[in-house]
Structure 1
Amino acid sequence: MSRYRLNGPLHFSLFGIFLFCLFFSCWQVHSQQDTSRIVTYTDKIILKANIDTRTDVLLYRNQNEDERLELTPNSRYRLFLSLDYEFVGVSVGLVPKFMGGNVDENLKGESSFTDYQFRFFLGKWVQGLTYNKTSGYYVRNTADFAPGWIEGTHPYIQFNSLTNSQYGMSTSYVLNPNFSYRNIVYQNEWQKISSGSLIPTLYYDYNTFAFDELGIRSKERFFNLRLSPRYFYTLVLHENWFISGNVSPSLGVRFSKDESTENGITEIERNTYFIRSVSSGINLGYSSEKVIFGMNLTLNSDWYNEDSNSSVKTDQFYGVLYLGYRFEPPQFVKKAFRPFTAN
């Protein structure tokens, strides 16, 4: 596959955003926690369902040849079911058939998606683990490669065996004890007074990108290591309503090994790349003692230069609707967790 160059419009200083986030929240770092600001529901079981419109778009560009390739899976909605209790949480994501998981399969092919997430809370530390896999992509800009192609009539160019999988971990630390990260991300706390915090996060993940079609077998394995000075702020609009926003620039490094076989000849290429990313989002939510719901919008973009003429970019822009319910756990659940909690 040819390598391409990125000409994205994101000309800004990640370091400048980092300094802004640090300056804006440094006055909160040494404050002591005020229990009237945050109501915790970690002793309750929280069941939640999310529906989102996230679709990854892999963008390859070649500046010299003025070519552009856009790869995306054929999925419109994703469903996540999650459960949180005490210091642990788990989520499962999939694309169910009843939600029209694949649209126009005869034109775009079939895609599949699975996602498993685990999270652990240790005071102000948050540890995340995730595994996700997406299979089946089509070329969104097929018209650029197939003269006479008609949208809605002719099938898109498809790569049904193209698979992207990730084993990821993240370690976060909430600097401001009077800010509830759980309120906006996991909904097992309730932020009562407006507050914000810098949340430094270290991401480390192992990925495989595999392709086996047209007599070509290729597998790229890469390990990413990124550091992000994320900043979150929650504005309490009403006793039960809040709006929150966040910005998360990050810098890191990618160690890559690309192995490809064509006509019985295998080539191995090893590279190290400098990677950049920025993410932002806004969330409008409702919280009460039992019921939680809300919606949020997220924009994420990451990119890296492979050489002076080629780069790779991944874009994500999606909305999320969520609905959850808090309730008392059964006695056997309380008993099982009692050795690990103060309850």
Structure 2
Amino acid sequence: MSTGYFTKYIYHVSLVICVFLGFKGIGQSDSISIVNYSDKIILKINVDTKTDEYFYKNNEENTRLHIKPNNRYRMFLSLDYEFIGVSVGFVPKFLGANHDEDLKGASSFTDYQFRFFLGRWVQGMSFGKITGYYVQNTNDYFPNWTEGIDPYIQFNNLYSKTYGMSTSYVFNPDFSYRNIVYQNEWQKQSSGSIIGSLFYDYNIFDLGEADGINRDKFFNIRLSPSYYYTYVLHQNWFLSGNLSPSLGLRFSKSESGTDGIITVENNTYITRQLAAGLNLGFSSEKVIYGLNINFSADWYNEDDASRTENDKFYGLVYFGYRFDSPRPVAKLFHPKKKDN
């Protein structure tokens, strides 16, 4: 069985399982305890190994192209308070984030995320940019190429920009989605729920050529019936897992040309994604920390012979601290609340 066929099989099985578990969970109301810490300021730091790499395959010509940025680690600094949260992501130079720059070139990464909590609704907004990619499978194009000695094929000016939004709804009121994703709640008893999410984003993928234009623009929209479950291991420790298949549409616009003569091609594709994750975490009134292992694969067929994939497998560690907000900040959000 080929890898592509196996992924498709798992995707369809996961979709059926998530929908079944979701409908089964609707209407359940186990008496569990969820502690809300929205009145606390929560500062958190994340470090992950996530890399946005792309695979382009042509089955007729039996060729493939695997490109990725030269980043080993990404760091996010987050602040959450009341109904709003913000995160800033960057490449931590002091951790040796870019390695072998003489062989793979330099890459940069910036990311800004905002989130709003409205009851069981979560609204997210983000902007991200990555500059600088190299060809992981350079040896497929230069047979005499030697790894560790010869430089990889590099696209130093290639950049990708993403303007994204998401809207999520938690079907089970006794399940804390925010406990495992944002850590501004503490779930103290085991429970699970389907999380219905709508993702929509606009992307620009540009070679950054000085003497011409070679650019792809995408608008993606996809729906995901994810299922999350949190198992409280003992007192402050919990183990969470999620399975998230999704189906969507990609509206593509490709622009290429030189000397003011631009060729434009428009296409529409059906996209599929499968994501899964495990989270081992610790939560108390003040301290939070944990470890995540995540996998995601999304793909679409450009035509009968060509296929584009974006696969990710990465780990994430986080540490956070909750503390009381200063009185002027609390009054800003609750101007009519009297002091005790």
TM (normalized to structure 2)? 0.95
Correspondence for 2:173: 177
Tell me which of 12, 18, 21 is aligned to 2:18: 21
Is 1:329 the counterpart of 2:325? The answer is yes
Give the aligned residue type for 2:185: E
Tell me which of 9, 12, 19 is aligned to 2:9: 12
Correspondence for 1:3: none
Tell me which of 249, 252, 257 is aligned to 1:256: 252
2: CA distance, partners of 1:32 / 1:300: 31
Q: Secondary structure at the match of 1:179?
A: coil
Correspondence for 1:247: 243
Give the aligned residue type for 1:133: K
1: CA distance, partners of 2:108 / 2:166: 25
Is 1:278 the counterpart of 2:274? The answer is yes
Structure 1 stretch displaced more, 274-283 or 205-214: 205-214
Where does structure 1 lack aligned partners over 5 or more consecutive residues?
1-5
Structure 2 CA distance for partners of 1:122 and 1:16, relative to 1, 3 Å = same
Correspondence for 1:119: 115
Give the aligned residue type for 1:230: S
2: CA distance, partners of 1:321 / 1:86: 24
Structure 2 CA distance for partners of 1:149 and 1:258, relative to 1, 3 Å = same
Q: Secondary structure at the match of 1:10?
A: helix
Q: Which aligned pairs between 1:84-95 and structure 2 lie closer than 5 A?
A: 84-95=80-91
Correspondence for 2:188: 192
Tell me which of 296, 301, 318 is aligned to 1:300: 296
**Cα distance, 1:8 vs structure 2:** 6.0
1: CA distance, partners of 2:228 / 2:282: 17
Correspondence for 1:39: 35
Contact kept in structure 1, 2:54 and 2:310, CA below 8 Å? yes
Deviation per CA, 1:207-227: give whole Å up to 9, x if none: 100013485521111100100
1: CA distance, partners of 2:143 / 2:210: 21
Is 1:318 the counterpart of 2:323? The answer is no
Contact kept in structure 2, 1:130 and 1:167, CA below 8 Å? yes
2: CA distance, partners of 1:76 / 1:326: 29
**Cα distance, 1:17 vs structure 2:** 2.5
Q: Secondary structure at the match of 1:237?
A: strand
Where does structure 2 lack aligned partners over 5 or more consecutive residues?
none
Contact kept in structure 2, 1:25 and 1:196, CA below 8 Å? no
Give the aligned residue type for 1:217: I
Give the aligned residue type for 1:152: G
Q: Secondary structure at the match of 2:42?
A: strand
Q: What's the C-alpha RMSD, in Å, of the aligned pairs? A: 1.9
Give the aligned residue type for 2:131: S
Q: Secondary structure at the match of 2:208?
A: strand
Is 1:151 the counterpart of 2:133? The answer is no
Deviation per CA, 1:198-247: give whole Å up to 9, x if none: 01100010110001348552111110010000110000000000000001
1: CA distance, partners of 2:19 / 2:153: 46
**Cα distance, 1:57 vs structure 2:** 1.4
Q: Which aligned pairs between 1:59-70 and structure 2 lie closer than 5 A?
A: 59-70=55-66
> Matched residues, percent identical?
57
**Cα distance, 1:329 vs structure 2:** 0.4
Structure 2 CA distance for partners of 1:42 and 1:214, relative to 1, 3 Å = closer
Q: Secondary structure at the match of 1:212?
A: coil
Is 1:98 the counterpart of 2:82? The answer is no
TM (normalized to structure 1)? 0.94
Aligned length: 337
Tell me which of 188, 199, 219 is aligned to 2:215: 219
Give the aligned residue type for 1:58: Y
2: CA distance, partners of 1:330 / 1:87: 17
**Cα distance, 1:18 vs structure 2:** 2.9
**Cα distance, 1:16 vs structure 2:** 4.0
2: CA distance, partners of 1:25 / 1:269: 40
Q: Secondary structure at the match of 2:304?
A: coil
Structure 1 stretch displaced more, 175-184 or 140-149: 140-149
Give the aligned residue type for 1:170: S
Contact kept in structure 2, 1:173 and 1:201, CA below 8 Å? yes
Tell me which of 201, 204, 207 is aligned to 1:208: 204
Give the aligned residue type for 2:25: Q
Structure 2 CA distance for partners of 1:342 and 1:13, relative to 1, 3 Å = farther
